[in-house]
Structures are given as structure tokens and as C-alpha cells.
Amino acid sequence: MRTLTARSTSAISLVLGLVVVLIAALQSDPLAQIERTSSIPATVCPKFEDEARATALLPSNRTSIKSAKSRKSGFTRARVNPYPLNNTSIVVEGGEVNSIVLRTRTRNYTAATNCLIGDGDQWFVGASGALGSRARILAVNSGLSASSLEIFAFDRSGEAGSRAITIPPVSQREIRVDSLVPGTDASAIRVLTRSGRVSTFVIDERSRGLSNLGGDFLASQTPATTLTIAGIPTRLGGVAIPNHRIEILATGARASVVNVELLSDGTRFTPVGLSEVTVQPGEVKRLPLPDELGGRVVAIVITATEEVAASVISATGREFAFSTPSVALESYQFNVGGLEPILSFAAKAIRVDVAITSRSGRVRSERLTGAEILNWRVPSNSRKIAITSAYPVHMAATWSGSDGFTSMPLNPGTELERSSTPTFDIDALVDR
């Protein structure tokens, strides 16, 4: 019996040794077969814990979702689309078509944002901590282990402090911005994920006494030396939006010298006072844009000597919208749910093909060409919009209606993840 056991152990060791040698050889052999896999991670659609109406525009009613507070690994079909977010944030299966969330308060405001995967380093510029503001950060941990965050706050005087926060598994937490930067009307927030994967969102609602001043989502961004903000709304109901300003932060350790160019109707120019502006490190600086920006949605390009993060705030006195930078893309797909936003494209040369899927399922295409900036309104009764560009282009969507107006950068909610695994034929272990 001992002899059989020893022989069995030796045989197993020999086989394991051959497997290890074979795998090592395959990894070093350029002709070895490599199995490549790719997947698109799930995204989170946010629901703040209040009474505002929130709706997710999913790729379709067959899209698989689950509650962000559920410990179950399985997804179920949404069955309806748009999908009402009544109780909590949801996790949406990954796919090529992006999901977005619309949030409204009747006759108060309209807001829109992308559903996102967790990003380890997110920056938000523009939320207010002043009296009358209800700006909040929503951190959603949809994973099965606890996550830790560090939140850094900045105002006009520089860095205002930081706070470490732990988010339990499958849960979400809201943090008031005025608890980080009390009393300031110009702030920036950096959310750094130390462990786990957390999706972070910011909403800002403002009022003065009993008067509503509007609300909007504030999209996250990545600091850079060149930022393009493609969708700045200029009119609401045919009336010019009178107030526009840039809030900008130099995110590094050195001051940044900034230039701002305005793109409008095929032209590019630098407004008075927006050339060679110095922004001190860690300081939120406010730069006014011209009061009258024309009759169409416009864009700006910010170039800086050091990395910056920035947003544009457009306000009427009863409603406001944040416009934030977008990344340059060659394709983007999303469901507009029958809405008719204006899509804005910003690039030196613009050549875009748009495939429009109607409510009946019919698909038709349009080719859009231009230079610097091009605006195009989505036709009525549209559902899915698929954009393909010949060159990388910055994109944004703007809406306006009876409840208010909003601007949203068309940034991908998630990215394709790839992995490689060596494969081998088990017959190679057989001695022929």
C-alpha cells in the first residue's frame, strides 16, 4: 500500500511538472496559442436618497440590471425602458450602448448624467457649499467588500481639507459638500478611491429663501492641459441665458497659465480677458464668459501650461446647468428615450455618421460635416442614437423643456477590458 501511494505521488508530481514546463514554454513561444478575452464591465446608474424623480434610459427593455444594494450576483431583465429609479441606484450589465439618468423636479430643474463604472480618481469642479445649496456627493459601492475613499476639497483660497470615508459592501452614502467647504460658492472636489471600486456622482440644487435657483448633475473629469467643453447652452425657450462663467482649478503643485478659445458657428476666437490667465495651484478661480454667446449651443477649448480641471456654469436666475469636458471619441451609442436633445460636436474637422433607430425599429442614417463646432437636433420619436466619427471628436448633449435645461458630456460610462490566457493541447502530454 505504501509502495502504491509513493508511486501515485511520483506520477502526479511528474504530470504537474510537465504541465508547468509546457505552460512556460507556451508563454515564451511566439507561436503558442493565446486565448484573448474581453468584456465590458457593468455600470452604476445613480439614485440619490430624496423625492426627486429619477429615470434610467437603458439600451433596451431586455437589458439586465440589479439593485446596487443587492448581494445577489444574478441580474434580471429590466422589462421596461425608461426604467424608474424609485428606491436605489442600479447596476447595469456592460454593453456597447451607454445608459444615462434623467433627474427632474417639476418646474424646478432637469438634470442628466452618464451611468458610470467606478473610477479610482474623479474630479468635480463647480459645486457650491454656500448657504442655500444642497450639493451632495453620492458614493456607490456595488461590490461585496468594503471600499475606502479619500475626499479632498478646494475653494478660492486653496485646499480646504480632506476626509477619509469607508463605504460598506453593496451600499451607498451621501456626503454634503457644505460639510467639506462651508460657506463657499466656488469649490472643487477630488474623490480618490483607496480600495475597492466605487462610482461617485455629484448633484447640486440651489435656492434663495423660497425661490428655486435650479439644479444639475456635475460630471466627473480627468485633469489635462487641454480641455474641450462641447455643449454650453445659450437659450432657454427662445430667451438668451444671460450668465455664463468658467470655474477652473490648477490640480498640480505649480501655477498654470490658461487660454480660453470660444467655438461658435465655425469660428474660433479668444474673448477679452481670457488670454494668459494665471491660476494658482489648488485654487478655484472664476472666469466670466461673454453675456451673449449667440443663438446656438457653443463650445470652449481651454489650453494650459499645467493640468487643470474646469466647468462652465450657465444660469438664468431660476435654473442653471453645468457643462463639463468630454473626451474625444470615434463612436458613441445611447438611448434618448424619445427625447430630442441637441447633440454638439467639437473638433477642427467634423465628419460624423449618425444612425437613428426610431420607436418602430426603423433605422436611417445622416452624415454631418462641419468645422470647429456642429449642432444637430435628434429627430422626434427616436430611440437609439449610434454615432461614428471619421476623426476623434468631442460630443455633448443639451436638453431644455418646461422643467429646465441641462448639459451632459457624451463620455463612455465604461471601457472594454481585455485579458490574455495561454492555452495548450492536452494531447501534447501523451507520448506517441
C-alpha cell at 142: 456595488
Please give the span between the terminal C-alpha atoms of the chain, in angstroms, as a whole number: 31
Instruction: Check pLDDT > 80 for residue 359.
Output: yes
Interval 227-249 mean pLDDT: 93
C-alpha cell at 380: 422626434
pLDDT digits (tens, 9 = 90+) for 102-159: 999 988 899 999 999 877 899 999 999 999 999 999 999 999 999 999 999 999 999 9
CB 279 within 8 A of CB 258: yes
Rounded distance between C-alpha atoms, residue 87 and residue 73, angstroms: 19
User: Could you tell me if 8 and 142 lie in one domain?
Assistant: no
Rounded distance between C-alpha atoms, residue 269 and residue 288, angstroms: 15
- Whole-Å CA distances, 206 to 49, 141, 167, 383: 17, 27, 27, 32
Interval 54-72 mean pLDDT: 95
- The pLDDT assigned to 419 comes to 42
- The pLDDT assigned to 13 comes to 53
Amino acid, single-letter form, for residue 392: P
Q: How large a percentage of the chain has pLDDT more than 90?
A: 74
User: Could you tell me if 32 and 140 lie in one domain?
Assistant: no
Residue 38 vs residue 333, higher pLDDT: 333
User: Could you tell me if 344 and 388 lie in one domain?
Assistant: yes
Work out whether the CA dihedral 59, 65, 69, 71 comes out positive or negative.
negative
**Going by DSSP bridges, is the β-strand pair 405-409/76-77 parallel, antiparallel, or unpaired?**
unpaired
CB 325 within 8 A of CB 310: yes
At 218 the three-state DSSP class reads: strand
Work out whether the CA dihedral 200, 201, 207, 211 comes out positive or negative.
negative
> Which residues make Cβ contacts (< 8 Å) with residue 2, sequence separation at least 6?
none
User: Could you tell me if 14 and 93 lie in one domain?
Assistant: no
Count of CB atoms situated within 10 Å of the CB of 273: 12
User: Could you tell me if 142 and 212 lie in one domain?
Assistant: yes
C-alpha cell at 209: 429663501
Instruction: Check pLDDT > 90 for residue 424.
Output: no
Indicate the pLDDT class of residue 69, thresholds 50, 70 and 90.
Answer: very high
Instruction: Check pLDDT > 80 for residue 35.
Output: no
- The pLDDT assigned to 197 comes to 87
Interval 39-54 mean pLDDT: 91
Indicate the pLDDT class of residue 416, thresholds 50, 70 and 90.
Answer: low
DSSP characters for 227-243?
Answer: EEEEEE--EETTEE--E
- Whole-Å CA distances, 244 to 25, 317, 324, 419, 431: 62, 11, 13, 45, 77
The residue range of the domain holding 140 is 43-415
pLDDT digits (tens, 9 = 90+) for 156-198: 999 999 999 999 999 999 999 999 999 999 899 999 999 998 9
- The pLDDT assigned to 2 comes to 43
Residue 211 vs residue 278, higher pLDDT: 278
- The pLDDT assigned to 86 comes to 92
- The pLDDT assigned to 211 comes to 87
Angle of CA points 235, 104, 147, to nearest 5°: 115
Question: Hey, which of 39-48, 325-334, 407-416 has the most confident mean pLDDT?
Answer: 325-334
R_g (Cα) of the chain, nearest Å: 25
Interval 250-260 mean pLDDT: 97
Rounded distance between C-alpha atoms, residue 186 and residue 188, angstroms: 7
Rounded distance between C-alpha atoms, residue 413 and residue 90, angstroms: 14
User: Could you tell me if 15 and 57 lie in one domain?
Assistant: no
Rounded distance between C-alpha atoms, residue 395 and residue 48, angstroms: 26
At 69 the three-state DSSP class reads: coil
User: Could you tell me if 145 and 28 lie in one domain?
Assistant: no
CB 384 within 8 A of CB 358: no
Instruction: Check pLDDT > 50 for residue 23.
Output: no
pTM listed for this prediction: 0.87
Q: Domains in the chain: how many in total?
A: 2
- The pLDDT assigned to 417 comes to 53
E strand or H helix that includes residue 17 = helix 2-28
pLDDT digits (tens, 9 = 90+) for 196-226: 989 999 999 999 888 899 999 999 999 999 9
Rounded distance between C-alpha atoms, residue 140 and residue 46, angstroms: 8
Q: How large a percentage of the chain has pLDDT more than 70?
A: 87
User: Could you tell me if 27 and 51 lie in one domain?
Assistant: no
Half-sphere exposure of 206 (CA within 13 A, CB side): 22
Rounded distance between C-alpha atoms, residue 296 and residue 284, angstroms: 28
Amino acid, single-letter form, for residue 356: I
- The pLDDT assigned to 165 comes to 96
Give the residues across from 302 on adjacent strands.
227, 260
User: Could you tell me if 112 and 226 lie in one domain?
Assistant: yes
Rounded distance between C-alpha atoms, residue 126 and residue 134, angstroms: 13
- The pLDDT assigned to 51 comes to 86
User: Could you tell me if 93 and 129 lie in one domain?
Assistant: yes
Instruction: Check pLDDT > 50 for residue 21.
Output: no
Instruction: Check pLDDT > 80 for residue 44.
Output: yes
- The pLDDT assigned to 430 comes to 46
Indicate the pLDDT class of residue 294, thresholds 50, 70 and 90.
Answer: confident
User: Could you tell me if 15 and 79 lie in one domain?
Assistant: no
User: Could you tell me if 108 and 31 lie in one domain?
Assistant: no
Average pLDDT score, the chain = 88
Instruction: Check pLDDT > 60 for residue 38.
Output: no
> Which residues make Cβ contacts (< 8 Å) with residue 31, sequence separation at least 6?
none
